[in-house]
């Protein structure tokens, strides 16, 4: 099905490759892979002095899925708005497909597809009208517009709803339409701002599949932000964790997980009033552990070999007369990485699924 995305595009790969390489000549070319998105010291201050994005560096290679992970308010949307020319950086610079986001804003816009947070649609238009206008404004050749829009409606499974007003669509349908709208001109680089927030698991999976297919079959580069760790883990080749405008960790999910020590031992204390400080001191005294932290009513221990660490930990707590409720041993997840780097769990704001997908979809 996604061959549709590629089919007419198959006529131009050589030209595209040539152009991409030609304009990337000023950038770092590592081997033959060019950078799709580069940022240097990118910063945005909102008056009076809120550093929403506080000096970030990015190097995202073509053909990758880049996951931009962070809690609400960490600066994800502000970053996307700067990279897609909607917002001027206060400092620093960025290029997308080799073009400067300030000086060559129009060229950047023509090259990228963007689906903003909270599907930004006109509720009075129909789905088809939305895509037709989008295709025309993106200068899809006039003879191809209808065909392209028809194909996209089929791909995102909105054919039946195509001629209904967007206002009657469910959240999942709106998000799929928004995604299709970002793809009309077959962009090589696509920005998605929290594409699955607030969606039920089925809709979320559908969006994941689109992203994976486009990336695998057509080599489309994705920059996607998310508050969901499992989303970043499943989709992204590389993730960056944002915390108050700064990138606190960056790398492949597997790398990041490995970086925090092999295992995670979580000791839940029996009584919420138990002194976590005493427990912390007791466990820290053991030595040989990678890191120890208190999170809520638990002591979290990172260590190379979890199974052999459990006995000394329980013993130490026992000696310190801290009662233990539960001990669990786990391989690290991105959540552990997040916790380790930021000192707290990520809180996704809008977890509740929004009800069953519209029957018409």
Partner 1 sequence: MIDTMLDVYQLTLRSLREVVRQPAFEVQNYFIPLFFFAVTVGALGNVSERAFGLENYRAFAMPVAILQGAAGGASYSALAMVTDIERGYFDKLLLTPTPRISLVLGRLFGDGIRVVIITAVILIVGAIFGTGMEAGVAGYIAILILAGLFGLAYAGFGLAIALRTGSPQAAQAGFLIFFPLLFLAPAFAPKEFFSPWLEFLATINPVTYILEGMRALISEGWDWEKIGAALLAIAVLAAINMPLALWALRHRTA
Ligand X SMILES: Nc1ncnc2c1ncn2[C@@H]1O[C@H](COP(=O)(O)OP(=O)(O)O)[C@@H](O)[C@H]1O
Tokens of 320: 């310190």
DSSP assignment of 103-159 equals: TTHHHHHHHEEEE-SS----TTSBHHHHHHHHHHHTT--GGGHHHHHHHHHHHTT-T
CB contact at 8 A, 94 and 82: yes
By beta-carbon proximity to Mg ion, the closer residue of 151 and 194 is: 194
- Where do contacts with Mg ion occur on this chain (CB under 5 A)? 76-77, 117
- Partner interacting with residue 125 (select from ligand X, Mg ion, partner 1, none; CB below 5-8 Å by kind): partner 1
In this structure, which long-range contacts are made by residues 215-218, counting pairs with CB atoms below 8 Å and at least 24 apart in sequence?
215/63, 215/64, 215/65, 217/2, 217/3, 217/5, 217/6, 218/2, 218/5, 218/6, 218/9
State the Cα–Cα distance between residues 69 and 38, nearest whole angstrom.
17
Query: Which segment (4-12, 69-77, 287-295, 337-345) binds ligand X by CB under 6 A?
Result: 69-77
Q: Which of 70, 127, 171, 261 binds ligand X (CB under 6 A)?
A: 70
Query: Which segment (6-14, 76-84, 201-209, 211-219) binds ligand X by CB under 6 A?
Result: 76-84
By beta-carbon proximity to partner 1, the closer residue of 137 and 356 is: 137
State the Cα–Cα distance between residues 352 and 185, nearest whole angstrom.
33
By beta-carbon proximity to partner 1, the closer residue of 112 and 274 is: 112
Is the bond preceding 48 in cis, omega lying within 30 degrees of 0?
Answer: yes
What is the Cβ-side half-sphere exposure of residue 63, based on CA atoms within 13 angstroms?
9
- Partner interacting with residue 18 (select from Mg ion, ligand X, partner 1, none; CB below 5-8 Å by kind): none
Site track for ligand X across 16-55, x = CB under 6 A: ------------------------------x---x-x---
Closest distance of CB 284 from partner 1, Å: 48
Phi-psi category of 291—alpha, beta or left, where left has phi over 0 and alpha has psi -120 to 50?
A: beta
State the Cα–Cα distance between residues 31 and 54, nearest whole angstrom.
30
Q: Which of 67, 75, 171, 276 binds ligand X (CB under 6 A)?
A: 75
Per CB under 6 A, does 77 bind ligand X? Answer: yes
- Partner interacting with residue 73 (select from partner 1, Mg ion, ligand X, none; CB below 5-8 Å by kind): ligand X
- Partner interacting with residue 335 (select from Mg ion, ligand X, partner 1, none; CB below 5-8 Å by kind): none
Q: Which of 73, 150, 251, 358 binds ligand X (CB under 6 A)?
A: 73
Closest distance of CB 193 from Mg ion, Å: 6
- Partner interacting with residue 122 (select from ligand X, Mg ion, partner 1, none; CB below 5-8 Å by kind): partner 1
- Where do contacts with partner 1 occur on this chain (CB under 8 A)? 84-88, 106, 109-110, 112, 114, 116, 118-125, 129, 133-134, 136-139, 165, 181
CB contact at 8 A, 216 and 248: no
Angle at 73 between CA 197 and CA 105, to 5 degrees: 85
By beta-carbon proximity to partner 1, the closer residue of 185 and 341 is: 185
- In angstroms, the first-to-last Cα distance of the chain is 18
Query: Which segment (70-78, 90-98, 145-153, 257-265) binds ligand X by CB under 6 A?
Result: 70-78
Q: Which of 78, 84, 298, 303 binds ligand X (CB under 6 A)?
A: 78
How many beta carbons lie within 10 A of that of residue 96, not counting itself?
A: 27
CB contact at 8 A, 324 and 268: yes
């Amino acid at each position: 099905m996604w061959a549709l995305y590629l089919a007419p595009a198959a006529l131009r790969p050589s030209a595209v490759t040539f152009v991409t390489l030609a304009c990337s000549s000023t950038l770092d070319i590592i081997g033959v892979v060019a950078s799709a998105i580069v940022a240097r010291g990118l910063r945005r201050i909102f008056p009076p002095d809120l550093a929403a994005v506080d000096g970030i560096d990015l190097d995202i290679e073509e053909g990758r899925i880049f996951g931009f992970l962070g809690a609400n308010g960490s600066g994800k949307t502000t970053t996307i708005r700067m990279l897609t020319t909607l917002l001027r950086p206060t400092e620093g610079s960025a290029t997308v497909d080799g073009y400067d986001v300030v000086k060559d804003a129009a060229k950047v816009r023509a090259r990228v597809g963007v689906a903003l947070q909270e599907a930004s649609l006109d509720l009075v238009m129909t789905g088809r009208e939305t895509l037709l206008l989008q295709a025309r404004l993106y200068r899809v050749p006039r003879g191809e517009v209808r065909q392209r829009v028809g194909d996209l409606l089929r791909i995102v499974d909105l054919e039946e709803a195509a001629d209904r007003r967007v206002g009657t669509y469910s959240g999942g349908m709106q998000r799929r339409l928004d995604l299709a709208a970002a793809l009309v001109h077959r962009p090589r680089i696509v920005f998605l701002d929290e594409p699955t927030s607030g969606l039920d698991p089925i809709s979320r999976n559908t969006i994941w599949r689109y992203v994976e297919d486009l990336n695998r079959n057509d080599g489309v580069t994705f920059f996607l932000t998310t508050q969901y760790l499992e989303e970043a883990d499943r989709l992204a080749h590389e993730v960056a964790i944002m915390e108050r405008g700064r990138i606190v960790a960056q790398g492949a999910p597997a790398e990041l997980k490995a970086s925090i020590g092999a295992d995670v031992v979580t000791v839940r204390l029996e009584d919420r009033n138990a002194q976590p400080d005493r427990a912390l001191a007791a466990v820290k005294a053991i030595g040989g552990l990678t890191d120890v932290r208190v999170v809520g009513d638990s002591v979290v221990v990172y260590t190379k070999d979890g199974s052999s660490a459990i006995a000394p930990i329980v013993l130490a707590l026992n000696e310190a007369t801290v009662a233990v409720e539960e001990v669990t041993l786990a391989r690290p997840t991105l959540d552990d990485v997040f916790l380790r780097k930021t000192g707290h769990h990520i809180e996704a704001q809008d977890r509740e699924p929004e009800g069953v997908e519209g029957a018409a979809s």
